[in-house]
Structure 1
């Protein structure tokens, strides 16, 4: 990790680069816009004093800074003030989101969106505080970008003029821990230096590599150091996101060390030779020396290179709203890692010429003194020095609600930045919504929201302002409390609307049909005010059958019976309904003034029902006897009404159960015919006779069938 900085002595700039392994001091001169690196001193840390951009041993770091200061003072005179930059890896990135209810509010405006974004940034800050390993309770927000807007839970391109139930902003925000700045100040003070201005390492590098005219492009700058790789994203004329991955050049060195059994410093030297030499000479920890082609070494460390490229590409996409930027610039000592630009282009789906290493050749207005080797590792410290001259970052003071707040001018500061620094809670930007209430309406739970609060008014130097307005030193910001919304209130009429009674005439009698409304078991009217947790039941049906039931007018309605356990409807005995002499069904919707006539039928007998259903309970046979037609019947079935045996004259009511129990019918016999005819023997008849069926002899007890011709023939 690196901390960087610079100071102005007449036309000289003094820059410090406090890195993970070493501290670099640089003297830069400037004339007519041309910068010249006059001197450069590098001293390694005596112990592990820097971890992930944070000074862990202030005394040790201050000692190294003092050594560099002394060396440079011998050559260039007294050095008292220095401007430093917080390293990119010291920055903390966190995602945050905020959802607000907007149902019933006016259409969404730009200021509504600004405040929603600010609330999301504050939520990210709270998440960072809850997960931070340090007890520090303050972070400078140095930038954020919106990941997504959502309307009612679905992603949407813009919330401007949208209306719905809820609006959401999801952001990724970057913060600088206060402890990083304070530890840097302490180390400089112990070394006899004062901080003149502060900048961020990614901003400084971008200032020299990406001129303002190019910052409208979506470009990623990657500074690959020893322990970490720092990332910054530009878009829409500013730096929108910062990030870091905890692997860098050391990952490649360790791969070499593990494969060839090399001491780490030896492996580091071998790695640096890969980009310039066709083969490298290495000596392992056992003392064996060998000459290995660079191409072979690169093939061995390729998995480590691919891992580094994947980690950087994934973080770039995360910071850039899940998409690849238009181009990637790679700086730092780790940028010389073989194959790295190509592997990055593959993983970001970019042409190879869109991923490039940017060295000092990219700085057309910079020259080097004799003996200073031009490498990409110098881009960042030189950029820090130049950034300190072009755009030094100072403290600014503003007053927020009569409280003085100090801010680092890490970018163009806005009212929103001041509100964040003053710890103004998101809820203070909005009037508190009124209390809602829940009721039960006809068995369904219903929520009635309270009134939306009115947003707080923001004044900048007594003038109305938005959260995006820029601020300057000594500005005064006042937040006027918004108006709280009213608690929810409603009448039953407002819930269910107006219910107009109707008048109907039923069989000559006029009736008024009113709604039935019950609240918590007590009848109430439409203008009753409801309260939280009320249970309301209402009905106002104008269906004919519902109205007759409400009026307690008895109607038999459908006439139905169960014949041998099968339900059947007897249309002839159904109740008939007429309106204006026209038949209507029982569920007909009545209108005001309708005249209803009801026709009821008398109950049928068992015989009527059996006849209507064409159910026969007897067998018959049609024959002729001595030339005369005769119909013979044989009743062989029993009839049960609701379980009791009855005859055909019994009365049947709607809902009764009829059962016709079938029995086995015996065939008709010749002798049975005398039960159905009045026959006497002729006085002149002979005592000798013959029984005939269809002209053939038959016995007295022989069976006969329908259609038979029977006769008695006497002998003469």
Structure 2
């Protein structure tokens, strides 16, 4: 019995990978088993779309795509003798957008770099990428884009390039990232089509990333190389150098451009035009029947003349995209996908790039580095994407190939590299406001010239656990981990009535913004209240809406380290209050109900930073160490919250 039959069971073994490459013209299914440092491909099936269910790499007809994908799945199940219930797929489509960003973060002093610092660095870079992308004029204004993942190309520590920042010492951190944006419907349509045929999406990556993982193995990525996967609807492009994938993009010109040109020139249907294109190198003459029923015979030379202009446009577009994403001429180019076989295409790329012909090759020779098969010829350039999906999932190059449960449901994961809790939350639609929360707005009025503040309720902090234990945003996520996240809830805005600051109806005259008040009324921030009386008493300082006393800050001129001062703070704590030292000044707050702890996020509103207009990276420190939002605070902790511009 061969190796393929030895793995047959009712369901695939956990380590096996079932991949579907859902292309514009066809769907290719591939099943592989990790075998040491290579993937053993045990089954391949392919089915053509009978209708134009895909346009430019994006699903238009979910039912039709599900139908064809179901046919591929059924054939593979019969061939293997087992059930397929999880699938790895790749997304692309004409709407894929990327944003490349370099982001720098300076720490308050040289220190050991921990995971939380790296997480903050990447989060800052992501925010910058989102800001740049959302402000772009060329973004489709009527579509909702969202960040689906990002790849870190390079890290820098004190201006020196480094592969891993963790545990090194330094002060200035920098990262180059490539953030990827897709409309919601692109990813959701993939999930919907797979759900219709009973498949759970176990891994989701990007088509250009999948293809480069097959065409350009890690051991040759020190060179500046470009990979172009030319499909029917799109041409996916990825480039690498210095061991990293440094960019990816796509051209919406591809094989269909040639097919449609043949249709118009010879009055044939799409399938006939596809056959003419495929058979262009088979002989000197081609025979076919046009849509009017006439038999035609055309020469190979006449077809080349017909498609010359369209082929030139395709080669020009691909070449321009390569130069754009790479920032110049690459050392070599690999052509993959079914379109790479089009006669004259390689020569056209050489002409438009003005590159040595020996530096442009059809991909396939390197496939055997990461995969092998006893039954199939894997050097077919059309296998770049499906093989890349299998390789990416099988070797966990895309860690989305394992399952993570978020709030009792499989999380959508979509990026290259390792995952943190923050990554999972952001990829599933949560943002920093969900993690931090906001206190309710304060109500500030003037009473006889004295500033009086009614404080809004504090935010209810978020709840975040990993496998039942409290966790940090920077903690790593592993296969089958489960995360529970309850977003922070914003506190209620402060509210107060005129009677909260002045006695009414006792012969005193109360003016609100210069007009005499006849009755009790709600106050608004900025109101000026004047009490003209010698009899009425101004009420005591207002209290928080939840019944707690107003926070008391010590005079900033009192040195925080003085023994007498700290003794005073101890006295306050004995009366149901707790004292911290924020930015070197004491801050005394009432104890929370049920003696719940204060968290670092609670200190943000007292830091003096306007979080609606942040102008630089916000640094969080507790007792001289890097802090995190959900860090529990203790009496007399020394806290620093400041911006680095």
**Normalising TM by the smaller chain, what interval?**
0.5 to 0.7
Q: TM-score, normalised by structure 1?
A: 0.50
Residue of structure 2 in register with 1:550 after alignment: none
Conservation of the 8 A alpha-carbon contact between 1:93 and 1:172: no
Distance 1:44 1:129, change over 3 A: farther
How big is the shift at 1:123?
0.9
Across the two proteins, how many residue pairs are aligned to each other?
A: 433
How big is the shift at 1:389?
1.9
SS at match of 1:71: helix
How big is the shift at 1:39?
3.9
- Separation in structure 2 between the aligned mates of residue 423 and residue 10 of structure 1, nearest angstrom: 33
SS at match of 2:245: strand
How big is the shift at 1:409?
5.6
- Separation in structure 1 between the aligned mates of residue 352 and residue 294 of structure 2, nearest angstrom: 38
Conservation of the 8 A alpha-carbon contact between 1:412 and 1:470: no
SS at match of 1:363: helix
Larger Rg belongs to: 1
Residue of structure 1 in register with 2:372 after alignment: 366
Distance 1:57 1:214, change over 3 A: same
How big is the shift at 1:388?
2.6
Conservation of the 8 A alpha-carbon contact between 2:150 and 2:415: yes
Distance 1:10 1:486, change over 3 A: closer
Residue of structure 2 in register with 1:20 after alignment: 24
Residue of structure 2 in register with 1:445 after alignment: none
Distance 1:245 1:36, change over 3 A: same
How big is the shift at 1:8?
4.2
Q: TM-score, normalised by structure 2?
A: 0.55
- Separation in structure 2 between the aligned mates of residue 16 and residue 472 of structure 1, nearest angstrom: 24
Within the candidate set 184, 209, 217, 2:215 is matched to 209
- Separation in structure 2 between the aligned mates of residue 237 and residue 479 of structure 1, nearest angstrom: 39
Residue of structure 2 in register with 1:564 after alignment: none
Residue of structure 1 in register with 2:258 after alignment: 252
Indicate yes or no: 2:130 matched with 1:122. Answer: yes
Distance 1:382 1:119, change over 3 A: closer
Residue of structure 1 in register with 2:345 after alignment: 340
SS at match of 1:89: coil
How big is the shift at 1:304?
1.2
Indicate yes or no: 2:360 matched with 1:355. Answer: yes
How big is the shift at 1:407?
6.0
- Separation in structure 1 between the aligned mates of residue 47 and residue 133 of structure 2, nearest angstrom: 36
Question: What's the CA shift string for 1:15-42, capped at 9, x where partnerless?
Answer: 3222223322334456566655544333
Conservation of the 8 A alpha-carbon contact between 2:53 and 2:65: yes
Residue of structure 1 in register with 2:148 after alignment: 140
Conservation of the 8 A alpha-carbon contact between 1:90 and 1:177: no
How big is the shift at 1:301?
1.7
Residue of structure 2 in register with 1:387 after alignment: 392
Residue of structure 2 in register with 1:238 after alignment: 244
- Separation in structure 2 between the aligned mates of residue 90 and residue 8 of structure 1, nearest angstrom: 34
- Separation in structure 2 between the aligned mates of residue 292 and residue 335 of structure 1, nearest angstrom: 23
Indicate yes or no: 2:378 matched with 1:378. Answer: no
Residue of structure 1 in register with 2:274 after alignment: 268
Residue of structure 2 in register with 1:324 after alignment: 329
Residue of structure 1 in register with 2:192 after alignment: 186
How big is the shift at 1:224?
0.7
Conservation of the 8 A alpha-carbon contact between 1:309 and 1:344: yes
Indicate yes or no: 2:203 matched with 1:197. Answer: yes
Conservation of the 8 A alpha-carbon contact between 2:17 and 2:33: yes
Distance 1:138 1:479, change over 3 A: farther
Distance 1:217 1:27, change over 3 A: same
Residue of structure 1 in register with 2:307 after alignment: 301
SS at match of 1:408: coil
Distance 1:390 1:117, change over 3 A: closer
Residue of structure 2 in register with 1:628 after alignment: none
Within the candidate set 186, 204, 224, 2:230 is matched to 224
Residue of structure 2 in register with 1:173 after alignment: 179
Distance 1:55 1:128, change over 3 A: farther
Residue of structure 2 in register with 1:502 after alignment: none
Within the candidate set 279, 287, 292, 1:281 is matched to 287
Report 1:486-501 matches (<5 A).
none
Question: What's the CA shift string for 1:176-219, capped at 9, x where partnerless?
Answer: 44543333233222212223333333333222222222223322
How big is the shift at 1:302?
1.9
How big is the shift at 1:466?
12
Conservation of the 8 A alpha-carbon contact between 1:209 and 1:363: no
- Separation in structure 1 between the aligned mates of residue 404 and residue 600 of structure 2, nearest angstrom: 17
- Separation in structure 1 between the aligned mates of residue 103 and residue 218 of structure 2, nearest angstrom: 34
Question: What's the CA shift string for 1:362-386, capped at 9, x where partnerless?
Answer: 425423637x796321232233233
Distance 1:310 1:214, change over 3 A: same
Question: What's the CA shift string for 1:141-192, capped at 9, x where partnerless?
Answer: 233669xxxxxxxxxxxxxx999xxxx9997632244543333233222212
Residue of structure 1 in register with 2:77 after alignment: 73
Distance 1:263 1:65, change over 3 A: closer
Distance 1:388 1:98, change over 3 A: closer
Conservation of the 8 A alpha-carbon contact between 2:239 and 2:325: yes
- Separation in structure 1 between the aligned mates of residue 209 and residue 36 of structure 2, nearest angstrom: 23
- Separation in structure 2 between the aligned mates of residue 275 and residue 319 of structure 1, nearest angstrom: 32
- Separation in structure 2 between the aligned mates of residue 395 and residue 101 of structure 1, nearest angstrom: 32
Conservation of the 8 A alpha-carbon contact between 2:18 and 2:84: no
SS at match of 2:202: strand
- Separation in structure 2 between the aligned mates of residue 181 and residue 99 of structure 1, nearest angstrom: 28
Residue of structure 1 in register with 2:549 after alignment: none
Conservation of the 8 A alpha-carbon contact between 2:223 and 2:241: yes
Distance 1:145 1:366, change over 3 A: closer
Q: Which runs of 5+ in 1 are unaligned?
A: 1-6, 147-160, 429-459, 488-716
How big is the shift at 1:472?
5.7
How big is the shift at 1:352?
1.6
Question: What's the CA shift string for 1:240-277, capped at 9, x where partnerless?
Answer: 32211111001112222333333332221111122443
Residue of structure 2 in register with 1:315 after alignment: 321
Conservation of the 8 A alpha-carbon contact between 2:146 and 2:181: no
- Separation in structure 1 between the aligned mates of residue 54 and residue 44 of structure 2, nearest angstrom: 21
Q: Which protein has greater RCO, CA pairs closer than 8 Å, 6+ apart?
A: 2
Conservation of the 8 A alpha-carbon contact between 2:223 and 2:243: yes
Residue of structure 2 in register with 1:42 after alignment: 46
Residue of structure 1 in register with 2:540 after alignment: none
Conservation of the 8 A alpha-carbon contact between 2:19 and 2:89: no
- Separation in structure 1 between the aligned mates of residue 250 and residue 340 of structure 2, nearest angstrom: 15
Question: What's the CA shift string for 1:656-714, capped at 9, x where partnerless?
Answer: xxxxxxxxxxxxxxxxxxxxxxxxxxxxxxxxxxxxxxxxxxxxxxxxxxxxxxxxxxx
Within the candidate set 34, 57, 77, 2:61 is matched to 57
The more displaced of 329-338 and 17-26 is 17-26
SS at match of 2:373: strand
- Separation in structure 2 between the aligned mates of residue 287 and residue 373 of structure 1, nearest angstrom: 39
Indicate yes or no: 2:418 matched with 1:423. Answer: no
Distance 1:137 1:319, change over 3 A: closer
Question: What's the CA shift string for 1:538-566, capped at 9, x where partnerless?
Answer: xxxxxxxxxxxxxxxxxxxxxxxxxxxxx
How big is the shift at 1:94?
4.1
SS at match of 1:410: coil
Please report the RMSD computed on the Cα atoms of aligned residues, expressed in angstroms: 5.1
